[in-house]
Chains A and B, each alone.
Chain A
Amino acid sequence: KAGVTQTPRYLIKTRGQQVTLSCSPISGHRSVSWYQQTPGQGLQFLFEYFSETQRNKGNFPGRFSGRQFSNSRSEMNVSTLELGDSALYLCASSLGWGPDTQYFGPGTRLTVL
């Protein structure tokens, strides 16, 4: 079974632009979570989705948004990019909303210039 896939793997943008990152969960998984990883702040939770509904959101500004589609694929969008948004963005999927283990994708490395 294929793992979690994230596209693109690398992205370079300039300040003020917007970006959309995509995450395809493991087949059959219905829950998707997003995390931001930076050297200074470590791993921070962004949002989690189940059955197209956002169930929880981390402490990030409104410039960060996301959604989940009926096939469980998820996208996150960052508008008006800032230098501090440069990070590795990780997506994780799990089977449902219970105690299932989350499996991570390879991440998208975003660089904001």
Chain B
Amino acid sequence: AQTVTQSQPEMSVQEAETVTLSCTYDTSESDYYLFWYKQPPSRQMILVIRQEAYKQQNATENRFSVNFQKAAKSFSLKISDSQLGDAAMYFCASRIQGAQKLVFGQGTRLTINP
């Protein structure tokens, strides 16, 4: 069975600073994918970044990057130069190869202080 755990229910950061959101996961599969999704107050779930487990290189998307530690089953999200528009709930999710089902963590509410 897959599980995803986000241990930080809430985080806050000053605008323009850097923040890291934590995520750990567990799976017995060798081929899987990891995601960070953002859910702003509009409730629209937006993909932030994805990582294929077979890739050693950490994924990056502009100000967003991940630290993927496969042996430790850790997948943290770093947001650089935080902007007010980054305020949202952030969900870590996993998916195994051969299935579309996403398993989500409990979410981290990120607040950006001006």
A residues near B, CB below 8 A?
Answer: 31, 33, 35, 42-43, 45, 48, 50, 55-56, 58, 88, 90, 92, 94, 97, 99, 101-107, 109
What number of A-B contacts does a CB cutoff of 8 Å give? 55
Q: Interface SS of chain A: helix, strand, loop or mixed? A: strand
Task: List residues 9-60 of chain B with CB under 8 A from any CB of chain A.
Answer: 33, 35, 37, 42-47, 50, 52
Asked whether, in the complex, the Cβ of B91 is within 8 Å of the Cβ of A55, the reply is no
Q: In the assembled complex, how far is the CB of residue A46 from the closest CB belonging to chain B, in whole angstroms?
A: 10
- Choose from A48, A56, A106 the contact partner of B43 (Cβ within 8 Å): A106
Known: A42-B107, A92-B100, A102-B100. 18 other contacts (CB 8 A): A33-B102, A35-B102, A42-B106, A45-B102, A45-B103, A48-B101, A55-B99, A56-B99, A56-B100, A56-B101, A92-B45, A97-B98, A97-B100, A101-B35, A102-B47, A102-B102, A104-B44, A109-B43
Asked whether, in the complex, the Cβ of B42 is within 8 Å of the Cβ of A106, the reply is yes
Residues in B neighbouring A58, C-beta threshold 8 A: 101
